[in-house]
Every structure is written in C-alpha cells, then in structure tokens.
Amino acid sequence: MGLSPKDIKERLKRMRQKTNDDVKNREKGGDKRKGVIDLSSLDNKEITFFKPNEQGKEITKGVYACKVDILPYIVATGKHPNNVSEGELDYAIEWWQHRSIGVNDDSVICLKKTFGKPCPICEDMEKKIAEGEDQSEINALKPSWKVMYNVIDKNSGKSNIQLFIQSRQLFHKEMLKEMNVQEAVGGEMIYPADIENGYTVLFRANDDTFKGNKFFNFSNFAFIKRDKYDYSVIEDTIPLDSILRILSYEEIACMYYQLDEDDIQEEKEDAHNNVEVEDNDEEKLENMTEEEQQRPKTIRKKIEEEEEEEEEVIEEEESDDLTGISDRKELLKIKQKEELDTKIYTKDSIEKIKEKIREARKLKEPPFDTEEEEEVIEEKPKPQRVRRNSKPKETSSSSTKCPFNHEFGKDCDYFDECTECVSEYADTYKKCEKEFNSQKGKK
C-alpha cells in the first residue's frame, strides 16, 4: 500500500514515542508477565515502589535501616479481602497469591485463601497432595501471603506516596507483634497509620535468599510519634483494594492449564446444556409422591431408567435386584443414610450398597445375583489432611511434631490451623517457625 508523506510523518511520530517508551522500559523489555497489581485504573499517576535496599540506610552489609510513615486509604470497592466496606478507611491490604503460573510465569491472587472461593490451582494442589505427589511440586503451588501499604519514605525527606509490598509473614506479622508488645508492657496501643496520632515505623531489612529468590527478613521494629497529617492526605493515597488484579476461576484455570478461553467456553456450554436437560425433570417432580421427591435426583433418575428398561427388556432375566420394589426402598434408605456421592452412581457403588443391604438384613443367602460378589470393593484412601475441627494430637511443649499432622517446620503458617497453633501450642509453633525460617535460609 502506498503511504503519503503525511501518513509516514504521523507513523514516524508514533514510532518515536514507542522508541521513547522502549528506552524508558529497557530494564523490563519483553517481559509480558502480569502481576497481581494493576495500576491501569490510576490513569497516568506516576507510581513508585518503596524498596528497603534502595531507600533504607545500609548500616552493615545487606542490612538496611528503614523509616516509613504508613498512611490510610479509602476503600474503593466491595472486594476488600478482609471485608472492609467501601468508603471506610484501612491502612493495609492482605492477599494470597500463587506465583509462576502459566507460560508467562504470572502471579495470580488465590481465590480460596483470599476470598474463601474455589480456586483451580488450590484444587489441583489438593489433588496432588492426595495423590502423594512430590513435595517440591506441591510447594511450588502453595500460595504465599502478601501485604501492601501506602508509605512515605522518611529517610528521603521527600513526601511522595509510594506502594510498599511485602511478605505478610515477614513484615506485617512482625510489626503487629511489636505493636502488641507495646500494649503488653503497659504502653499505649500503637496505631501507626493514624492521621491524628500516628507513628513513624522504624525497622531493619536484612537481605536473604531462598532458592535463588531474594527477599528481606524484617526485625527491630520501633515506633516514633509523628506529627499530625492533614486530613486531605487520604485523597492522595491509593485505594489499595482497587489495584488488586482479581481474576475469575475460569481465567485462572485458563492461565494455569494453558488453555484457550474457547476451551473453557465449550466446557461451560456443555455444562449449561446438561443443566437444561436436568431442568426438564422438574416437571416430573409435580407428579411425584412426597417420598419420591425426597429421593436424591440421581437415584430418581436411576430408578426411572430401571423402570424403562423393565418395560423394554422383559425377556432379560431379572438379575439385578434393584427392580424389586421393597429392596429398592431399602436401597434408597441406606443410600441416603450412607450419604454416598449421588453424582457417581457406578456399578461398584451399587454393589457396595447391595452389600450394605445384605449386612443389614443378615441374610444367609443373598437375594441378588452374586456374579460379582467376589470383587473387592476398593476404598480410596482418604487424604490425611486434618481439618480445623479435628482434635490435635497430644503434644508436649518440647514437641517437634505438628499438633495438626502437617509437616513440622515446612508447613508453617500455611494451614488455617496454624493460627490456632500460635495461641494453643506457642512453644511448638515457635520451633516450627524457627525451623521454617532456617530451612528457608539454607536453600
């Protein structure tokens, strides 16, 4: 195609602009990774990040003394992970993220640990745990806990607001601990981010590495009373909830399994069609007796199918006792009682139920076809994951065993129970945490 000199001039102008951008972004050229932070909603506001090793004062090799003011922001969405309402003030935001996901090694916000919703990566991780997959594979899928603040660097003398993102465990928890200590020793409770009675936060950041990834350990938290900030400062801080990039279950699944959006769409449509078919059954409900209605849908379906078969294939021998009315009722009762997964109604599960009926009646001779009786019904071993309600094992204070059956020194702070451990088994928790940190230091 022919371009006029005017066309070329316009294009050259745009190319120059792109060249400028390339020069500006030369360090991150070609990196298409997406993080969990999305600044696109902030228009062209220049956002920088607080970095302890750049803005802290290096007091000895790899140890930086930092000094920041944490400032509050106005919650701007209904999607705050800690359910702080829109319009309220908050001083931090916490979330869980999976790292190195998909072809671009993206980080994604874990929907399960952050919002208590289904997360495809966690589901796959749980499957891998149940299957006894290699620990390193599982560790790679574990989400990590993050925190972010609006801060002003007090070492610099500048007053621009920066974002500060850190490990929730290594920074936020340590700071909270110290705030608590202040109260415990009879001092007043510290609210560092308060506009009226806030405190400048001092801390040390120590360089550390884990599997080639650099990170900081934080210590020596201290608080110095700061001057009042003007109320208008909350107009300048960034609403942290609005810059979290929260993906849907489908989007995460696509990224994780490296699927096209089309694949997911097809699956969704299939699922939708299935639902439609099942919805047609609803009409039948009206014609049913109460007892029939109470039966789980899949069982109703099974019985309907059986009845159809009964009508059609009369010449076939009655080898399956499911066709006997009284046994069928018995079967339903037991089936309901057992609360077996009604979605999976396989031959094996039918056999299992028959066995239950036999047991229940203590019949000497089974009334059914015994052809497959010898078959061993294999019960899948259940994963050993201990839930919140389960009673922990007895532990002595010197124990190096996880009271909740997780891996001591490795699963620290990963499970919900860990928070319980902090208060109930403080000594064990401390040892576990120490072990966790020292393992981390070694690698």
3-state secondary structure (DSSP) of residue 307 = helix
CB 330 within 8 A of CB 357: yes
Stretch that binds Zn ion, among 114-122, 238-246, 330-338, 345-353 (CB under 5 A): 114-122
Q: Residue 122 or 179: which CB sits closer to Zn ion?
A: 122
Placement of tokens 């059956």 in the chain: 405
Residue 193 CA, chain-centre distance (Å), reads 28
Least distance to Zn ion from the beta carbon of 403, Å? 25
- Residue of 63, 71, 121, 421 that binds Zn ion (CB under 5 A): 121
The single-letter code of the amino acid at 229 is Y
Side-chain half-sphere CA neighbours of 339 within 13 A:
0
Which residues does 149 contact at the CB level (< 8 Å), separation at least 6?
68, 70, 71, 91, 92, 163, 164, 193, 240
Which residues does 190 contact at the CB level (< 8 Å), separation at least 6?
178, 179, 182, 183, 199, 223
Q: Strands 63-71, 144-153: parallel, antiparallel or unpaired by DSSP?
A: antiparallel
Least distance to Zn ion from the beta carbon of 248, Å? 13
Least distance to Zn ion from the beta carbon of 109, Å? 8
Site string for Zn ion, 246-275 (x = CB under 5 A): ------------------------------
Q: Residue 63 or 110: which CB sits closer to Zn ion?
A: 110
Residues linked to residue 219 through DSSP beta bridges, in sequence order: 204
Q: Residue 254 or 322: which CB sits closer to Zn ion?
A: 254
Residue 119 lies near Zn ion (rule: CB under 5 A): yes
Rounded Cα distance, 223 and 67, in Å = 9
- Residue of 36, 92, 122, 205 that binds Zn ion (CB under 5 A): 122
Residue 36 lies near Zn ion (rule: CB under 5 A): no
Q: Residue 66 or 121: which CB sits closer to Zn ion?
A: 121
Q: Residue 96 or 221: which CB sits closer to Zn ion?
A: 96
Q: Give the closest residue to 46 by CA, choosing from 24, 16, 30.
A: 24
Residue 70 lies near Zn ion (rule: CB under 5 A): no
Rounded Cα distance, 1 and 54, in Å = 51
Q: How many residues bind Zn ion (CB under 5 A)?
A: 5
3-state secondary structure (DSSP) of residue 101 = strand
Rounded Cα distance, 288 and 292, in Å = 6
Least distance to Zn ion from the beta carbon of 98, Å? 6
The single-letter code of the amino acid at 216 is F
CB 109 within 8 A of CB 248: no
Stretch that binds Zn ion, among 116-124, 128-136, 263-271, 417-425 (CB under 5 A): 116-124
- Residue of 80, 112, 168, 302 that binds Zn ion (CB under 5 A): 112
Stretch that binds Zn ion, among 107-115, 174-182, 204-212, 326-334 (CB under 5 A): 107-115
Stretch that binds Zn ion, among 110-118, 225-233, 381-389, 406-414 (CB under 5 A): 110-118
Least distance to Zn ion from the beta carbon of 111, Å? 6
Q: Which helix (H) or strand (E) holds 299?
A: helix 297-312
Q: Residue 70 or 110: which CB sits closer to Zn ion?
A: 110
Q: Residue 110 or 322: which CB sits closer to Zn ion?
A: 110
Angle at 180 between CA 176 and CA 182, to 5 degrees: 120
Q: Residue 252 or 357: which CB sits closer to Zn ion?
A: 252
Quote the DSSP letter at residue 51. Answer: -
Residue 295 CA, chain-centre distance (Å), reads 35
Q: Residue 126 or 355: which CB sits closer to Zn ion?
A: 126
Q: Residue 125 or 233: which CB sits closer to Zn ion?
A: 125
Rounded Cα distance, 3 and 9, in Å = 10
- Residue of 110, 141, 179, 421 that binds Zn ion (CB under 5 A): 110
Q: Residue 122 or 175: which CB sits closer to Zn ion?
A: 122
CB 175 within 8 A of CB 221: yes
Stretch that binds Zn ion, among 106-114, 198-206, 239-247, 412-420 (CB under 5 A): 106-114
Stretch that binds Zn ion, among 30-38, 118-126, 154-162, 401-409 (CB under 5 A): 118-126
Binding site for Zn ion (CB under 5 A): 110, 112, 119, 121-122
